[in-house]
Amino acid sequence: MDPGGSSRSAAWRGHIVQQLKHRDRIQSAMFQDLIRFYTGLLDRTSLTKGLLGRPPAERRSSLQQLKKTTGELAYKVLELQQQIEIKERVLQELQARLQKEDGRLAEASDAKRALRDEVEQVRQKNKALKAAYDALLQRQREAESKLREEKEKEERVLEDMMHQKKQAAARMNHRNERRSRARQATVQKQLQTAARSKVIEERGLSSSSSSAPTSRSTSPKPEDQDKSGGRGATRLFRSASASSPRFFSSIREMFDRKRRGHSVRSLEEHLLFPVGICLSARVPVRPLQVLEAHEQGINAVRFSFSSDLLATGGSDRVIKLWDVQAGSLTHRATLDGSTEGITCVEFDHMGRRILAASHNKSALLWRLDDSVPKVTLTGHSRKVTAARFTCVPHQVVTGSTDRTVRLWDLNRAACVQQGEVASFCSDLVCSDSSIISGHFDSKIRVWDSRAVSCVQELPSQGRVTSLDLSSDRRQLLSCCRDDGLQLLDLRWTNDRMCFRADGFKCGGDSTKAVISPDGCYLAAGSADGAVYIWNVSTGGLEARLPDRHSSSVSAVSWSLSGEHFVSVDRSRRAVLWSDV
């Protein structure tokens, strides 16, 4: 026998045995209930047979037991039937709910399809509206560019007109001076002629009244004639210069013409220099006027260079202008156009325009006679904290919390230079050839205004909230979150003074401090509503103004004339202070 064949036959038999066992298990599982039922019937049958073969007494007891067991089984059957009925009712309810939910699902699917159709229609409409908006935006940009060109032409025409007026005034002044000089020379010649004729007449009278008319007396010597003539001319010239009405009238005309000639000056020449020049600033001691200036908190305040106009900017998105007259503030105008709160305001040197920084990531420029912004400078990605006029005409500089400092050309309303830093910019000031910025990283940066490149970094006591330059542009004041002020001499950058006071606390990241116009005092508002004033020469606290503010003082401003001082707070209140 082949051993390989025997092993294959054994494996074949084992496989058949396993299949038979598997079939038995499946079939026995299928008939398990029937087998149990059949086994129960057999038990009952054997029980019945046993009862029939037993005595009657045992048979009766067994029957009773059987009845009892059968009753229990019947009761269980009834209970099971009731449970089956309950299950069937529950199943019917579930089926009904399922059908209802299927209907709702179908309705929701239909609504979903309808909404999808509506969304697609809205998308198509949005695409059409976007195309129309882009076309309108392009037209608006073209119109704005044309408007800027027209405004530039208008400004050039005005500049040409002003230049021509200046030249005409200069020519008129030159002609007036020539005429006055010619008239003066004519008057002098007339006076000399009159003096000579008077001398001749006096000499004629003296010769006719002489008691010894001789040839010597009637014909005097030439040297005597020269001497007497010289004395008489000198004497008569003095008397004529003091009493001649023609001389007075000619001199008066000459001065009138000179005065008229000097008065022919353009408005710009008059406004180049401020009217009020501060010789000695007055330290305020008491409030003159307290008013609710805005509907929300006030963030910025600034006097004009003529000291007769005040601007306040607040969280209510407007700038308000106030006339400063007779020790009171009178509302003059409201400038709107910003969509967010105002953070900084500043007048230009001519007193015709006002610049403001805003939380809406832009800076705005108004004319004082127009409540609508003339120029809007957009480009920052976060709020603009500072906006200043530079020393170059038609240029401004802005600082933002997007960590950039930007230089703008107002004629084009475009950014021409940009500098990036590693920290938020809180405030800016401009000197003759540089821009100085304060930052949250406790540093003060000096920029070259021509290229907006950082040329120097100066350390500060803490996070800088504001900067201010003295009138002579030699000292720089910085207010910091460490509750102190720092005065830096720009000529010697290592020379600095720190000012602190008990109770003074910087109230926010944008608290503004100022230097008095004569450079003798520093002023800042505190979180407790008081205003603190320091003496620069002594380094000590000069005054603490009484509490007229109900919240933190956000900014203060000193007029260039040194006569007025204003403080504002975050609860809409502005206070005008007096030195008496």
Concatenate the DSSP letters of all residues of 19-40 into one string. HHHHHHHHHHHHTHHHHHHHHH
Measured CA to CA, the distance from residue 70 to residue 77 in angstroms comes to 10
Tokens encoding 68? 């009892």
| 258 within some domain | no
Measured CA to CA, the distance from residue 365 to residue 343 in angstroms comes to 14
Cβ pair 66, 58 in contact under 8 A: no
| Residue where the block lists tokens 């480009």 | 379
- Tell me which residue of 573, 568, 577 sits closest to 544, measured CA to CA: 577
Domains contained in the chain, number: 1
Q: Which helix (H) or strand (E) holds 484?
A: strand 484-489
Measured CA to CA, the distance from residue 63 to residue 70 in angstroms comes to 10
| 460 within some domain | yes
| 195 within some domain | no
Distant-in-sequence, close-in-space partners of 477: CB < 8 Å, separation ≥ 6: 467, 468, 469, 470, 485, 486, 487, 488, 513, 514, 515, 522
| 447 within some domain | yes
Tokens encoding 69? 């067991």
What's residue 247's pLDDT? 44
- Tell me which residue of 252, 249, 237 sits closest to 188, measured CA to CA: 237
**Could you list the residue range(s) of the whole structural domain that residue 398 is in?**
286-578
pLDDT beneath 50, residues of the chain:
1, 205-276
Measured CA to CA, the distance from residue 218 to residue 214 in angstroms comes to 6
Cβ pair 407, 415 in contact under 8 A: yes
Backbone angles phi, psi at 488, to 5 degrees: -115, 130
Measured CA to CA, the distance from residue 308 to residue 560 in angstroms comes to 10
| 133 within some domain | no
Tokens encoding 453? 């490149």
| 155 within some domain | no
Measured CA to CA, the distance from residue 271 to residue 257 in angstroms comes to 24
pLDDT tens-digit series, residues 407-441 = 999 999 999 999 999 899 999 999 888 999 999 99
Backbone angles phi, psi at 414, to 5 degrees: -135, 150
| Residue where the block lists tokens 């038609």 | 394
What's residue 173's pLDDT? 76
| 156 within some domain | no
Measured CA to CA, the distance from residue 430 to residue 395 in angstroms comes to 11
| 224 within some domain | no
Number of Cβ within a 10 Å radius of residue 253? 15
Strands (E), 315-394: 319-325, 328-335, 342-347, 353-358, 362-367, 375-378, 384-389
What's residue 52's pLDDT? 57
List 267's β-bridge partners, or say none.
Answer: none
Measured CA to CA, the distance from residue 146 to residue 223 in angstroms comes to 85
* Residue count of the chain: 580
Cβ pair 293, 573 in contact under 8 A: yes
- Tell me which residue of 448, 500, 446, 499 sits closest to 469, measured CA to CA: 446
What's residue 201's pLDDT? 53
Cβ pair 317, 340 in contact under 8 A: yes
Measured CA to CA, the distance from residue 222 to residue 507 in angstroms comes to 96
User: What CATH number did the domain enclosing 556 receive?
Assistant: 2.130.10.10
Backbone angles phi, psi at 26, to 5 degrees: -65, -45
Burial per residue of 446-482, b for 16 or more beta-carbon CB atoms within 10 angstroms, e otherwise: bbebeebebeeebebbbbbbbbbbbeeeebbbbbbbe
Measured CA to CA, the distance from residue 501 to residue 108 in angstroms comes to 71
- Pairing mode of beta strands 565-569, 573-578: antiparallel
Backbone angles phi, psi at 214, to 5 degrees: -115, 175
What's residue 389's pLDDT? 95
Q: Which helix (H) or strand (E) holds 288?
A: strand 286-292
